[in-house]
Structure 1
Amino acid sequence: MTLFQALDRNFSTKNIGYKHFGYFCLMKWMKRIFDFYLDASIHVAFAVFSLVQITWLTLNIPSDKHLSWFLFFGTISCYNFIKYGVEAEKYLLVANRYHKNIQLLSFIASGLALYHAYYLSIAIWSGLVILVLLTVLYAVPLLPNAKNLRSWGGLKIFIVALVWSGATVILPGISVHDSVPWDIGVEAFQRFLLVLILLIPFEIRDLQYDQKELRTIPQHYGVTKTKIFGAFLVLLFFFGTFLKDRIGYNELLGKGMLFLGLGCLMYKTKRQQSKYFASFWVEGIPVIWYVILVFLEYTFSPHFAIAVSS
């Protein structure tokens, strides 16, 4: 081997090493960005945003962009407050740089939420007061020695489902109606069930972390019975569609696909989960549902509907 061949081979080896190192650094940064996306509650905010858009589509009511974006930015700030700073001083005095970035994002999101809140109607504000009160009771105890609603394990997921249902169905409904029509009530009930179903994988995952005093559903009934309960909720969710006075074909088809997906979710859910199973895939189900509905709207005519009752 000549000197030039040896140098060329050495250079090629170093070049390959640099490429591998560059790829490693890129993947490391992508993982950091992805983890921040999840930890800063951006993913769950997109889930809420998607559910609001689904409400506009399925109920065929005019959309309100200010309500949609208020809920998106409000979800980021509220969820981060609940996760990282239930105590005010912990939320304001943050030493960790990573949490400082989440705190900064939360403050920006709060400001944008307030901007969009200015354009909301009085009717929406009246509903928001109730939901905000429930959220505060969920995160903060009213008395120094009292427990918040989050500490009541058996009740916790029902409170979360109630708030999500109210925010993503009732608020859009009262933005265009003086009262809550029957179909909106049915949709709110289905949304309540959907959120309960999506929370079950989280409850099962957290078995190893939750204190026994919480008495969560998996702690009380076990993983298998909890999954059976979830499967029953999936059935109730889908067949609840037929309680509506008017059902769109696209809505029925979309909920049919969601029904199959939720059934698979209950089957796949287990105690030992991968890192992103619940925090990314389960929370991403509303986004996937929204994408399916948008595809159906553009593929098939949105005007066909089934009149269930006169």
Structure 2
Amino acid sequence: MGTLKFIFNFYLNASIHVSLAVVSLAAITFDLLAISWNFFLLGFVFFASVVCYNFVKYGVEAHKYLIVSNAYHRAIQVFSFLSFGFAIYFLWYLSPKIWVAVFVLGILSTLYAVPMLPNLKNLRSLGGFKIYIVALVWVGFTALLPILDANVLPTWDLGMLCLQRFILVLILILPFEIRDMHRDDKALKTLPQVIGPKKTQKLGLVLIGIFFLLTFFKDVVDGKEVLLRSVLVLFLVLIFLFDQRRQSNYFASFWVEGIPIFWLVLFRFVNEFF
């Protein structure tokens, strides 16, 4: 039992679970565009997400990332460096326009954790901006990169897809904000710190409603997509009806972050049998 718990905790702490969530949303974008998956892009998104998340969690200060004090974090460090190598490998097979987009997203991700100049704050420290920056980066990796890879021209529906993805990521972040409201620096001015956990939950429910209603603002409304979004909305509502201040250690880090993975499985099931 101890070994299984160690593996499970490593799976979460090494950002494998959240990276699977990111790559699941990228795969869903391919399904929404009705095109085949580019496994080189999906491989890059997964391994790049591992590197980004582990850098933000463990490597905000360079010496912390290079010099670790225990074997557990050293294992995460080795896994992160291996993931960086795989990310470069997959990126090599992608088009130059993907490289440009990745460079911009990489700069944004780096500035989220590391200030541009010694006397400046990083983007994460700017009060109230934290969740919007994270959501923007997720949209870049899970919507923009697949759209660029598919060589599709900008349309109203693609704009709606990106807007819905941005709102969905905000929704998924809010349970973490509630969980960490007492641990986060007050200067971050997270939503639960500013408006309280109850109002944050209500805001989450409002965002869920907006996320779903935007589906009907598209030029082409697909019945399967409406069904799949309805199921997703149901799960999201159930999560926000739960008292998140009493959540277990794994509620947000496993169940909430696992929602995109569940949604992808649902997508594949519906596309396969209906």
Please give the TM-score of this superposition, normalised by the length of structure 2: 0.97
Deviations 1:172-223 (A, max 9, x none): 0011226422222111110100000000000000012012222111111011
Deviations 1:219-268 (A, max 9, x none): 11011111111111000101111122223222111101001111111111
Matched, 1:181 2:184: no
> Which contiguous aligned blocks of 4+ residues in structure 1 show a shift greater than 6 angstroms?
none
Q: Per the alignment, in what secondary structure is the counterpart of residue 181 of structure 2?
A: helix
Give the Å deviation of 1:165. 0.8
Find the partner of 1:68 among 33, 42, 56.
42
Q: Per the alignment, in what secondary structure is the counterpart of residue 241 of structure 1?
A: helix
Find the partner of 1:244 among 201, 218, 226.
218
The answer as to whether partners of 2:30 and 2:37 remain within 8 angstroms in 1 is yes
Matched, 1:131 2:109: no
Matched, 1:268 2:247: no
Q: Which runs of 5+ in 1 are unaligned?
A: 1-26, 301-310
CA distance in 2, matches of 1:180, 1:45: 27
The answer as to whether partners of 1:62 and 1:176 remain within 8 angstroms in 2 is no
Residue 143 of structure 1 aligns with which residue? 117
Q: Which runs of 5+ in 2 are unaligned?
A: none
The answer as to whether partners of 1:138 and 1:150 remain within 8 angstroms in 2 is yes
Residue 13 of structure 2 aligns with which residue? 39
Larger deviation, residues 176-185 vs 112-121: 176-185
Matched, 1:28 2:30: no
Q: Work out the number of aligned pairs and report it.
A: 274
The answer as to whether partners of 2:172 and 2:256 remain within 8 angstroms in 1 is yes
Please give the TM-score of this superposition, normalised by the length of structure 1: 0.86
CA distance in 1, matches of 2:272, 2:150: 24
Larger deviation, residues 174-183 vs 99-108: 174-183
Deviations 1:10-40 (A, max 9, x none): xxxxxxxxxxxxxxxxx11100000000000
CA distance in 2, matches of 1:219, 1:235: 23
CA distance in 1, matches of 2:243, 2:39: 35
Cα separation, partners in 2 of 1:191 and 1:269, compared to 1, 3 Å:
farther
Matched, 1:54 2:9: no
Residue 112 of structure 1 aligns with which residue? 86
The answer as to whether partners of 2:28 and 2:264 remain within 8 angstroms in 1 is yes
Give the Å deviation of 1:167. 0.9
The answer as to whether partners of 1:238 and 1:255 remain within 8 angstroms in 2 is yes
- The amino acid across from 2:98 in the alignment is I
Residue 72 of structure 2 aligns with which residue? 98
Larger deviation, residues 29-38 vs 179-188: 179-188
Higher relative contact order (CA 8 A, sep 6+): 2
Q: Percent identity?
A: 51
Q: Which has the larger radius of gyration?
A: 1
